[in-house]
Amino acid sequence: MKIADVLNSLDLGSSVAEFDQMIDRHFVMTSAFQDLIYNKGDIVAGDKGAGKTTLYKYLQQKYTSIPQLKNVEVVAGFNPSGNPVFRKLIQPTPYSEGQYQSFWKAYILSLVGNWLLRICDGAFGQNTRKLDALLFRSGLRSKDTSVETIFSRLNKTFRRLISPTSASIQLGLHESGLPSVTPKLDFGSSEDTETWEDDIWDYDEGLALLNSALNENDITVWVLLDRLDEAFTGYSEIERPALRALLRVYLDLLAFDRIGLKLFVRKDLFRKIVQGGFVNLTHISARKIEIIWDPEDLFALLCRRIKASEEFLRRLPSTSPTDKELFDTLFPEKLNRNRSTWKWMLTQIKDGNQFVAPRNLVDFVNLAIEEQARYESRNPREYNIETPMIEVESLKRALIRLSKKRVEDTLLAEATDDIAVLIKGFIGQQSEQNDEMISNIFHVPLSQAKDFAEILVNIGFFERTNEGYKIPILYRSGLEIKD
């Protein structure tokens, strides 16, 4: 049996959660996941590629079979593919932070409210009937409860409400004989002229009614919001106030026992949102869950993906190999006398903050498999249980490819224009830098060079050293860095 045939049968799946068709078999129960299902936190923070979307996707698909969530219903608050629906908030004139708060509250009220009315299917209790009437009067009632429809409809309505062409009031009498005052807003055409009762747009009261309706039906809902880092890319003037408003809405929702908001956010974006101060940040930090992967978790993740490849396992002599046996089947135990291959792999794919993203590991091994399979097509070898399938040279070639890939799809793709200029400034430079060298590269004063360095440390492009900074191996080949 040729090694090429065995390697071609090995499928580790996609490193990107949206494209992973075997996420249930690849999923590793990390401490972050345990904290989430035991409701120890609501804000899941992690670096790029740490597995935020994987965690969301597994939770959304499997929550009905998780004992800790037997009394919880999970509602997705975003579209998992295509352009994030939140990008519809991008407009020439941004809303104020207060207006964004109103928008997020209206969205949650509409999304969960319409979802609840759909599953109740007309069997309404008193509070559920009131909720139905409220959504209908306010124009938020929708038979289609998809995220795209709810968000788009609300966004269109909200824009009209923010900019009416005229306003007036109508006076009348209630049946009780008391006077009534009803605002009338004109939005520019006869079909856009609407009359609103004066309590309709009090979203806090609407959310309180929603909570009562959920309680009436003995339902607790978790609303999951992911892809927040993609929603406003390139529009920092919208991103910060919109997401700060979302955090404030999160704090307001803590008052309701039946509505839970679970946010999945990148760590650097979270820092940007709260930068400059944030009232009650301690309350948010107390409910923040950080995704942390230690070497044991990563080893388990890799071996779990290998075990999910049934065709590959059938070709191995052992019917139930241990994780270590699987690893040793693929890789040499050591690169040299003193350094294990596993430890070497981790040092090659970590960023400047010493973080190893699961995405980097999966992509690295997939690329190594490709490189070895290409070599085997030219120089076929028979499979021998005593000889690891993937050789050191294939690992080194895979690292070069991974470096170029991460520079393009993570470093530069996620960076703002000014940060991208900083990163590109190091093309062809030395791997070890200090403030004076940075000052010379960009022709700026030393104080500004220190500021540049701090930015690059925060995004994981620089690793601090005693002498200054070091560009991690992960990014060196992609930027032609000199060792």
Please give the full DSSP string across 131-155, using - where no structure is assigned: HHHHHHHTT---S---HHHHHHHHH
Please, which residues bridge with residue 44 across strands? 264, 289
Q: Is 409 exposed, middle or buried (0-12, 13-18, 19+ CB in 10 A)?
A: middle
Residue 47 banded pLDDT, cuts 50, 70, 90: confident
CA 295 to chain CA centroid, Å, is 22
Number of CB atoms found within 10 A of residue 197's CB = 12
Report percent pLDDT > 90 for the chain. Answer: 58
Handedness of CA 324, 327, 333, 335 (dihedral sign): negative
Residue 184 banded pLDDT, cuts 50, 70, 90: low
Which of 332, 359, 352 lies closest to 343, judged by CA?
332
Residue 320 banded pLDDT, cuts 50, 70, 90: confident
CATH of domain 31-127+203-290: 3.40.50
Residue 230 banded pLDDT, cuts 50, 70, 90: confident
Amino acid 192: pLDDT: 45
The stretch 104-110 carries a mean pLDDT of 94
- How many residues in the chain? 483
The stretch 270-284 carries a mean pLDDT of 87
User: Beta strand 463-464 with 469-470: parallel, antiparallel or unpaired?
Assistant: antiparallel
Residue 197 banded pLDDT, cuts 50, 70, 90: very low
Residue 195 banded pLDDT, cuts 50, 70, 90: very low
Handedness of CA 315, 321, 322, 327 (dihedral sign): negative
Number of CB atoms found within 10 A of residue 7's CB = 22
Between 414 and 436, the higher pLDDT residue: 436
User: Beta strand 166-173 with 220-225: parallel, antiparallel or unpaired?
Assistant: unpaired
Residues 6+ apart with CB under 8 A from 61: 23, 24
Amino acid 25: pLDDT: 77
The stretch 28-37 carries a mean pLDDT of 91
Measure Cα distances from 473 to 301, 333, 447, 480 in Å. 22, 21, 27, 11
The stretch 11-19 carries a mean pLDDT of 74
415-483: CATH class: mainly alpha
Taking 50 as the threshold, does the pLDDT of residue 194 lie above it? no
Which residue carries 């960023």 as its tokens?
351
Condensed to tens digits (0 to 9), the pLDDT of residues 330-385 reads 999 888 777 899 999 999 999 999 999 999 999 999 999 999 999 999 999 998 88
Which of 231, 106, 229, 232 lies closest to 159, judged by CA?
106
Condensed to tens digits (0 to 9), the pLDDT of residues 380-432 reads 999 888 889 999 999 999 999 999 999 998 899 888 889 999 999 999 999 99
The identity of residue 244, as a single letter, is R
- Domain residue ranges in the chain: 1-17+294-409, 31-127+203-290, 415-483
**Euclidean distance between CA atoms 120 and 23, whole angstroms:** 31
The stretch 190-206 carries a mean pLDDT of 58
Condensed to tens digits (0 to 9), the pLDDT of residues 131-146 reads 999 998 888 899 999 9
DSSP tag of 430: B
Taking 70 as the threshold, does the pLDDT of residue 164 lie above it? no
Indicate the range of 30-39, 310-319, 471-480 predicted with least confidence. Answer: 310-319
Q: Are 259 and 207 in contact, with CB atoms under 8 Å apart? A: yes
Q: Are 235 and 416 in contact, with CB atoms under 8 Å apart? A: no
Amino acid 454: pLDDT: 94
Q: Are 151 and 104 in contact, with CB atoms under 8 Å apart? A: no
Mean pLDDT over each residue of the chain, to the nearest integer: 87
Taking 60 as the threshold, does the pLDDT of residue 179 lie above it? no
**Euclidean distance between CA atoms 154 and 169, whole angstroms:** 24
CA 83 to chain CA centroid, Å, is 14
Taking 90 as the threshold, does the pLDDT of residue 255 lie above it? yes
**Euclidean distance between CA atoms 166 and 184, whole angstroms:** 9
Amino acid 171: pLDDT: 54
Residues 6+ apart with CB under 8 A from 430: 437, 481, 482
Handedness of CA 295, 299, 304, 309 (dihedral sign): positive
Please, which residues bridge with residue 53 across strands? none
Condensed to tens digits (0 to 9), the pLDDT of residues 56-76 reads 889 998 999 999 999 999 999
Taking 80 as the threshold, does the pLDDT of residue 52 lie above it? yes
